[in-house]
Structures are given as structure tokens and as C-alpha cells.
Amino acid sequence: MHSRYRTYQRISDLPKLSGEEVVLRGWVADRTDKGRLQFLRFRDGSGFCQLVVFQPEVPEDVFMVAQTVTQESSVEVRGLVRRDERAPGGYEIQVHDLRILHRTQGYPIAPKEHGVEFLLEHRHLWLRSARQHAIMRVRAAVIRAICDFLDANGFVRIDAPILTANACEGTTTLFELDYFDLGKAYLSQSGQLYAEAAAMAHGRVYTLGPTFRAERSKTRRHLTEFWMVEPEAAFFELDDDMDLAEDLVEYVVQYVLRHCEQELRALGRDCSQLEKVKRPFYRISYTEAVEIVRRKGAKLHRKLPDGGEEIVDFPWGEDFGAPQEDAIMEEFEKPCIIHRYPAAVKAFYMKRDPENPDVVLAMDMLAPEGGGEIIGGSQREDDYGALLQRLREQGLPEDAFQWYLDLRRYGSVPHSGFGLGIERTVKWITGVQHIREVIPFPRMLYRIVP
């Protein structure tokens, strides 16, 4: 980075500054009083390190500051950098001077345990904690790795609109709003339809941005606003799509292992399973997956019209829920791609398998270790007549889809793509239990603040 942006040194530079006198600015995360020794856990955004203030070595007023500084006060510190294996972060500062920039009173988040609802209420402050800091760093690395990989492989980034007239993933999960005199608009469920148009202009493209689902599900894997990367490629068939998904996920996981060692350690992540995430992954058909589900006894809980529930052996034709996905993934220590789902449970735009009209050329990738579905994709219906029929069957407004049908009117070609959920992926890689912790400000059924 250019030093003209950096008047102060940063904790991330400490390995290069061992034995030197430095000036750092940041915040006091915690303090431990050992009489003549004060240990301050210090953070400056780039990392955490320990400040050691030894009474005989500093002026009396500096020691007073160290003894009384409150959690989350902002400070400027001058001192000597020392390598110390035992210190968190591997380095500590032997303090010579310490100045308060802003004294904090009554910081709400104490270093002790808080309930998760309290922490979510204070998400704007919770982000400062070491654990949340590590998660956000991994998230940034995941997004960087995705863009690096796709850019290097000839995919052009295209940004899809967020306000749209089109339902992409079914009409039951749309956030609706009034759009001036033009009637109803929706928050985008997916950039895919726009990516398809752009793929006919650039061959290989991807969209990356927030997407929205008005899902009333309260699970550890669902957000109402989540980020998705959606590659789309002309002349790709289903097998190419699966190859691309496999290459991308392998690259992202190996990139994070290489670049986020410290963060993964801070999160207590056992990385032995992640190290195995190398090609080839597993590939099974939906029909084979159903056999596993039945063998494992992951039954289907089906709602009855009278409000009750019946529990049945998993029937061919139903979509998998979390219990089935988890049962399937007990079999695999690497990600598994499931392909050729029943047409009835998948979206209108997926192409029928020419060898079996009951299934579509769809594929989902499930991650091991409780990751669940991280990718959903397919080969797209490229035939005008077939697509129009699917739109009609699903009762979608033909007017709003005329532009999308144009892609099949003018130089239609086989094409495929997929969506990879950023938060699902970060949740899996970090080993965090709940998706709400892997996005800076989660939007869920019962949360819109802060």
C-alpha cells in the first residue's frame, strides 16, 4: 500500500518493525492489571497486539493513563516492538508513551459473555470484537478470491439491477414495492436473468451483489438479504457448469487457507477438512441422492391441509430440506454436486434433460461439515417455445419477460450458470454456526436494526 495514506504505522506491519520504535493509533480492547505491569489488548483495525506498560520505565502520568484507560477508549501509543511467541498476534509493544484521544465511558459490550440478541442489538459495536473482526476478514478474502478467479478466467463483471420487474426464483419470496406510475417492482432475488443477457454480449460474465428473499424461514442458513456471485457463460453445458463450480470453490477455499491463517486460528477452526477441498468433488444425481436419504432414514415431514403433519419415507420428486442435505453430506468429506433434479421443484428457466423430461439440467453443490447448499445453478432453457411454455405453466407475466424471451429469439445458444451464496460459503469456511454472524449487518425475519 502507498505510504502517503498512512501517517501512522499499523499492527499488520509489526513483523517488519521488530526492534524499532513505532507510533500506533487505535483502541483499547481490554486491560489486565498486574500491579506495576499493565497489559492492554490493543487493536487498530489491521489486527490486535499486546501493549506492556511497566511502571519503572514510563513517566508517572503515562502509567496513570495505562492504569485508568477504559475499554474502547481511543489512544495513541509509542513504544518498542518485540517479537513474543506467547503474545496474541505474536508481537507486543513495550510502551514508552500513551495518550488518550477519546475516553470511552460505559462501553456496552464487556469482555464477558453476552446473549446473542444483545450482541445483535449492538452489531455496530460488536463488529469490533476479535471474533467478528476475523470473520469479516475471511468474508473479504472470499469475495477477493472469487473475483480474482473469475477475472483470470475471462469472466467480465456485470452489475445487475436491484430494482426489477421480474421474479426469477418463484413469486412467493418477493419483496414488493410501488414503482412510481409503473406499478409493482421487486427487490431482485437473483441477477441471473440480466447475467444471461450480458453473457450473450460478452460470452462469460458474472454479477456480484445483494439479493433478496422474503422467506419466512428462521434457520441458521437463511437471510432475507444476502450476497451472491453469479457466473454465466455462453456455450457452457451442464458439465461445464459443474466443472466451473468445482474449480471456483477449490480456488476460494485454498486461497482462504493460504491468506487467512491467523483469522482461522482466531476462530478456532480445525482446517483439516478444508485442506481436502480439492478436485474432483463428488457428483451424484438427484435420484442417487434420494437413495442415500432413504438409506439414512431422513424422513419427510409433510404438512397436511388440516394443519397437522405426516412423516413419510422420502418420495422421489420432493425438494431436499436441511435434514436431507445433512444426511447426504454425512457420506462425503468433500463438497458434493447433486444434478438433475425433478423439474417440478426447480425454476422455470432450467432446461429439461433431453434424456429424461421429468428432470432438469440443474445442479446444487452441498458443502460438508454442516455447510448445506452453497451453490444452485443450471443449464438454461434456450428454446423459445419451451421457455414460453414454462412461463405460462408457472403463471409468470409474459409482458415483463419479453426482453428475456428476446435472448431466445436472436442468436440463442446453450448457456449455463450458477449462484454461489457468499454468506453460506463464509459460514462453511469459518465454521461459524449461524449465518447472521458472517454478514456485517444481517437482515432476518425479526431484525432490520442496526
Give the interface with Mg ion as residue ranges (CB under 5 A). Answer: 376
Which residue, 27 or 428, has its beta carbon nearer to ligand 4AD?
A: 428
Judged by CB under 6 A, does residue 424 bind ligand 4AD? yes
Q: Which does 374 bind (CB under 5 to 8 A by kind): ligand 4AD, Mg ion, none?
A: ligand 4AD
Compute the half-sphere exposure of residue 39: CA atoms within 13 Å on the CB side of its CA. Answer: 11
Residue in 26, 79, 421, 442 binding ligand 4AD, rule: CB under 6 A = 421
Residue 192 beta carbon to ligand 4AD: minimum distance, rounded to whole angstroms: 4
Residues 111-149: b if buried by 16+ CB within 10 A, e if exposed:
eeeeeeeebbbbbeebebebebbbbbbbbebbbebbeeb
Spatial contact of 48 and 265, defined as CB atoms under 8 Å apart: no
Residue 314 beta carbon to Mg ion: minimum distance, rounded to whole angstroms: 18
Binding pattern to ligand 4AD, positions 4-43, x when CB under 6 A? ----------------------------------------
Binding pattern to ligand 4AD, positions 146-175, x when CB under 6 A? ----------------------xx------
Which span (8-16, 133-141, 223-231, 276-284) binds ligand 4AD, by CB under 6 A? 223-231
Alpha helices in 94-184 (DSSP H): 116-121, 123-126, 130-152
Q: Which residues pair with 178 in a beta bridge?
A: 184
Q: How many helices (DSSP H) and strands (DSSP E) are in the chain?
A: 13, 20
Distance CA 427, CA 439 (A): 9
Distance CA 426, CA 303 (A): 32
Judged by CB under 6 A, does residue 269 bind ligand 4AD? no
Judged by CB under 6 A, does residue 190 bind ligand 4AD? yes
Which residue, 47 or 421, has its beta carbon nearer to ligand 4AD?
A: 421
Residue in 338, 376, 407, 437 binding ligand 4AD, rule: CB under 6 A = 376
Residue 373 beta carbon to ligand 4AD: minimum distance, rounded to whole angstroms: 4
| Residue that is written with C-alpha cell 509489526 in the block | 14
Extract the C-alpha cell encoding 69.
484507560
What is the chain's percent helix, strand, coil content, to nearest 5?
35, 30, 35
Extract the C-alpha cell encoding 118.
444483545
Distance CA 211, CA 171 (A): 14
Which residue, 13 or 353, has its beta carbon nearer to ligand 4AD?
A: 353
Residue 425 beta carbon to ligand 4AD: minimum distance, rounded to whole angstroms: 7
Residue 378 beta carbon to Mg ion: minimum distance, rounded to whole angstroms: 10
Judged by CB under 6 A, does residue 139 bind ligand 4AD? no
Residue 141, C-beta contacts closer than 8 angstroms, at least 6 positions apart? 255, 256, 259, 260, 263
Distance CA 289, CA 311 (A): 19
Which residue, 371 or 376, has its beta carbon nearer to Mg ion?
A: 376
Spatial contact of 232 and 205, defined as CB atoms under 8 Å apart: yes
Which span (46-54, 66-74, 391-399, 420-428) binds ligand 4AD, by CB under 6 A? 420-428
Residue in 423, 430, 436, 444 binding ligand 4AD, rule: CB under 6 A = 423
Q: Which does 429 bind (CB under 5 to 8 A by kind): Mg ion, ligand 4AD, none?
A: none
Distance CA 336, CA 372 (A): 10
Which residue, 41 or 123, has its beta carbon nearer to ligand 4AD?
A: 123
Residues binding ligand 4AD (CB under 6 A): 168-169, 190, 192, 213, 215, 222-223, 226, 228, 230, 373-378, 417-419, 421, 423-424
